[in-house]
Amino acid sequence: MNRTEDRPVTLVDEHARAWSPKTARARFRNGLTGPTAGVAAGHTQANLISVPADWAYDMLLFCQRNPKPCPVLDVTDAGSWTTVLADGADLRTDLPRYRVWRDGVLVDEPTDVRAHWREDLVSFLIGCSFTFEWALAGAGVPIRHVEQGRNVPMYVTNLRCRHAGRLRGPMVVSMRPVPPEHLSAALRESSLLPAVHGSPVHCGDPSVLGIDDLGRPDFGDPVDAEPDDIPVFWACGVTPQAAVMASRPPFALTHAPGQMFLTDARDEQYRVA
């Protein structure tokens, strides 16, 4: 499988935590790019993948069979660029950066995909682990990539997703270094938000997941850990992009990893207890 390299991104304004989702979307629509971790704090973020209608059932089945990396928050009608998760938003313009795929190959990374839009596209909005970071932070768990102003590191693993029609591929995970004394809190708090990936899939030795070097993520940025930190891995909504690379549908649009769609939904809406 070919792996793509992430280009450097421009970090969002340090005051972005206080933005409303509507303000964040407007700024992204006007060309601001960068990782969205911590932006519009308290509001749910989502991964995006749009596929032709004749691939939409395969994608829906893929998500249903692989709910840990692909928890679905909304599915649009064919050709629609709106979502019930964000009033007045435009899925073609309101993300910081997109990816355009043809036959499983990344061909463009624009900040606006209106020129690429097709009337047969069905969009899937998938839960994002940025959403549970408020709960981790509230429990005292440090969020290293936010502290360091970086994108979260993401890795392609040796865990295989269940096949669904023409779609197949490996699971992608995001990694956060967690101090040992905060590990139980990280497990507890994330497990209460299953709609945004829930509890981790692995803690500790990255080689178990087929990851050779934490300093070389497949997506995002490397993060500096403290000496005693334990690497904790959560299923990641970039997994459909790995499926696109492996399965080669003729066309797809996605978010750029770490540069998410800001919804109007509040994070606590997805907390189960």
Q: What is the pLDDT of residues 105-141, one digit of tens each?
A: 999 999 999 999 999 999 999 999 998 998 999 999 9
Average pLDDT over residues 223-246: 97
What does pTM read for this prediction? 0.92
Structural domain contains residue 217:
yes
Does 3 score more than 90 pLDDT? no
pLDDT band at residue 38 using 50, 70 and 90 as cut-offs? confident
Structural domain contains residue 3:
no
Structural domain contains residue 6:
no
Structural domain contains residue 222:
yes
Average pLDDT over residues 47-65: 98
pLDDT at 17: 86
119 and 137, same domain (yes or no) = no
149 and 210, same domain (yes or no) = yes
pLDDT at 4: 41
Print the domain residue range for 167: 131-235
Structural domain contains residue 242:
no
CA–CA distance, 33 with 94 (Å, rounded to integer): 10
86 and 175, same domain (yes or no) = no
147 and 162, same domain (yes or no) = yes
Structural domain contains residue 240:
no
**CATH number where 194 lies:** 3.30.2040.10
How many domains is the chain built from?
Answer: 2
Does 5 score more than 70 pLDDT? no
CA–CA distance, 262 with 273 (Å, rounded to integer): 23
Structural domain contains residue 38:
yes
122 and 251, same domain (yes or no) = yes
